[in-house]
Amino acid sequence: MNDKKLIAEKIYTALDGELSLDDILNLLEKPKNSDMGDIAFPAFTLAKTRHMAPQAIASDLAEKIDTDGLEKVVATGPYVNFFLDKNSVSTKVVDQVVGEKEHYGDQNIGHGAKVTIDMSSPNIAKPFSIGHLRSTVIGDALANIYQKIGYTPVRINHLGDWGKQFGMLIVAYKKYGNEEAVRENPIDELLKLYVRINEEAETNPEIDEEARAWFRKLEDGDEEALSLWKWFRDESLEEFNRLYNKMDVDFDSYNGEAFYNDKMDAVVQILEDKGLLEESQGATIVNLDDEGLNPALIKKSDGATLYITRDIAAAKYRKDNYDFAKSLYVVGGEQSGHFKQLKAVLKKMGYDWADDIEHVSFGLVTRDGKKLSTRKGNIIRLEPTMDEAIERALAQINAKNPDLPNKERVAHQVGVGAIKFYDLKNERTNGYDFNLEEMLSFEGETGPYVQYTYARIQSILRKADYKAQSDVEIDFNDSDSWEIVKLLQDFPNVIKRAADKYEPSVISKYVINLAQAFNKYYAHVRILEENEGLQARLALADSTATVIKESLRLLGVEAPEEM
């Protein structure tokens, strides 16, 4: 039984059923100051029904509570504050972490059910930018988190490999393209062509019409259009996969928009059979007035399909093939209207599983406060940015620890980890300004700070020639170690909260707090001092390292053994 439940049951007994156990659990708080106890129960709710001052109720309740298994129970104003038996709790928690190692915090909530995660999804023939980083790392972290609580994640890279932009690119290639230049440096050349044609289209409306015409040819299976499209796609995928390998991210499916070309007629037919289609200004729509939404545009006046048609086909395909318990779409917040429409149309089609679809939105990455745009050529490309981060990390290692073994490997772990961690420490609905120097700092709330804390603990354990033991009796009398124990005890709850909120930053913030708590402990306690408490201190350090490493793994960040 966890401590909160133990305390809730003691309160329930003392109140003789006046509040339900669930109500009591929901009311329990963490005191602002650890000197005031470990868990607090506010008496305000009881004051409403008893018509008494909450201070008087708290005082009365504190006297009635059974203190067995607790250090003490005291009334402080309108709160009943509970002090846990530190040594008993510490012994139990540390023993559990040491025994379970990386499996500490595992939960079987999902019972193996599948969670599909639509993530990354870059556009073909465009460079992989920092903007795509968010979807990739948030999606990957959520996959790890859901696996930790017993689900089977399915990572889907829904490539942007179809649409009018390919018509635009074909027009650009035929007007200005050079085959040799594209083959030599595909993404750079294709980006130049794309930016140039968009600039021209701003003053020449004919470009737009030409692009539409070429996309129609592509949809109709025109040989030249398909050949160019496949070439652009193959070259892009090669670059993307090199980047994914650098980031240590992989996928279960690369089925992009083009994959659903032969599946959309069936979707349109279902919509027609269910009487959901209407004509509007020559286009075919599903009216969503009753949902307070704009109409879902299924087919344009020229018969071309749209994103939502493909997304309906994709959602149905994923349900049919994976029978998902949840289907997550890790896509920018600006697409929220689209996903509301998608769910509404699927519900009208009679698919109750539409309720299991979740748009996991996120904010924008900016540079110097300005929005990034591929179309205008204002982007931060991910690969050179990662390379620079790795180089900077290596320079720091050479300055501080030049004899470090495998320093190139460690520099990669630190450089790539710094970029990922910085993204994931921000609540996903918030944007952030990209600052590589800040990301790579070994001080503050950064990935390198957390990684260095882990490496520091490993160094301590190596010096002590530490061998894990079970049932180590903990007899701590310092507040710093108790703060660590409470954080370790909370780890399973943190994982569950992160999953429930689709919010990896819950884990990032947690592991920063844990690293800070350990460093405070390290500054105040001589861990390697030869006395009877040595094994207990080493076990606490080992437990902390285990949970730091597992937290970083859930975020897709590696933990170097030495730095």
Q: Are 339 and 91 in contact (CB under 8 A)?
A: no
% of the chain residues with pLDDT over 90: 80
Mean pLDDT calculated for residue range 383-406: 94
How many whole angstroms separate alpha carbon 325 and alpha carbon 115?
Answer: 6
Torsion over CA of 533, 537, 540 and 545, rounded to 10 degrees? -160
Which two tokens mark 299?
Answer: 């087919």
Q: Which amino acid is at 226?
A: L
At 54, the pLDDT band (50, 70, 90 cuts) reads very high
| pLDDT bucket at 378, cuts 50 / 70 / 90 | low
Closest residue by Cα to residue 193 from 226, 243, 227, 228: 228
DSSP single-letter state for residue 50: H
Q: Tokens 């950064």 label which residue?
A: 446
Does pLDDT of 1 surpass 60? no
The CATH architecture assigned to 383-554 reads Orthogonal Bundle (1.10)
Interatomic CA distance for residues 444 and 433, integer angstroms: 16
Q: pLDDT tens for residues 260-297?
A: 989 999 999 999 999 999 999 999 999 999 999 999 99
Q: Where are the beta strands (DSSP E) in 406-533?
A: 432-433
What CA–CA distances, in Å, run from 353 to 264, 319, 379, 554?
19, 8, 37, 28
Residues 39-63 have a mean pLDDT of: 94
Domain boundaries, the chain: 3-84, 163-236, 383-554
Euclidean distance between CA atoms 154 and 318, whole angstroms: 10
Q: Which residues contact 12 (CB under 8 A, 6 or more apart)?
A: 19, 20, 21, 24
The residue behind tokens 């048609």 is 309
Please report, to the nearest 10 degrees, the dihedral formed by the alpha carbons of residues 525, 527, 533, 539 taken in order: 120
Query: Per residue in 436-469, is it b (16+ CB within 10 Å) or e — as a string?
Result: beebbbbeebbbbbbbbbbbbbbebbeebebebe
pLDDT of 377 > 80? The answer is: no
Residue 80's CB is within 10 A of a number of other CB atoms, namely 27
pLDDT of residue 536: 94
**pLDDT tens for residues 497-509?**
999 999 999 999 9
Q: What is the pLDDT of residue 477?
A: 74
Q: Decide if pLDDT at 384 tops 70.
A: yes
Assigned CATH for 3-84: 3.30.1360.70
Token pair 């005191």 is at which residue? 31
User: Which of these, 210, 170, 213, lies nearest to 194 by C-alpha position?
Assistant: 170
Segment 131-153 shows an average pLDDT of: 96
Instruction: Report how far residue 9's alpha carbon sits from residue 1's, in angstroms, rounded to the nearest whole number.
Output: 10
Q: Is the Cβ–Cβ distance between 483 and 517 less than 8 Å?
A: yes
pLDDT at 246: 95
Average pLDDT on 102-113 reads 98
Which tokens belong to 554? 């859930």
**Left (φ > 0), alpha (ψ -120 to 50) or beta: where does 228 sit?**
alpha
Portion of the chain with pLDDT greater than 70, in percent? 98
pLDDT bracket for residue 207 (50, 70, 90): very high
Mean of all residue pLDDT scores within the chain: 93
What pLDDT score does 274 carry? Answer: 96
Residue 352 in this model has a pLDDT that exceeds 60: yes
Q: Do 551 and 510 meet the contact criterion of CB atoms below 8 Å apart?
A: yes
User: Which token pair is 98?
Assistant: 């040491």
User: β-strand 326-330 against 357-360: which pairing, if any?
Assistant: parallel
Identify whether the C-beta of residue 328 lies closer than 8 Å to the C-beta of residue 339: no
Q: CA 139, CA 472: separation in Å to the nearest integer?
A: 39
How would you list the strands of the sheet with 70-76, edge to edge? Answer: 39-42, 79-84, 70-76
Kind of pairing between the strands at 283-286 and 296-299? antiparallel
77: left (phi over 0), alpha (psi -120 to 50) or beta: left
- pTM metric for this prediction: 0.91
Mean pLDDT across the stretch 49-78? 94
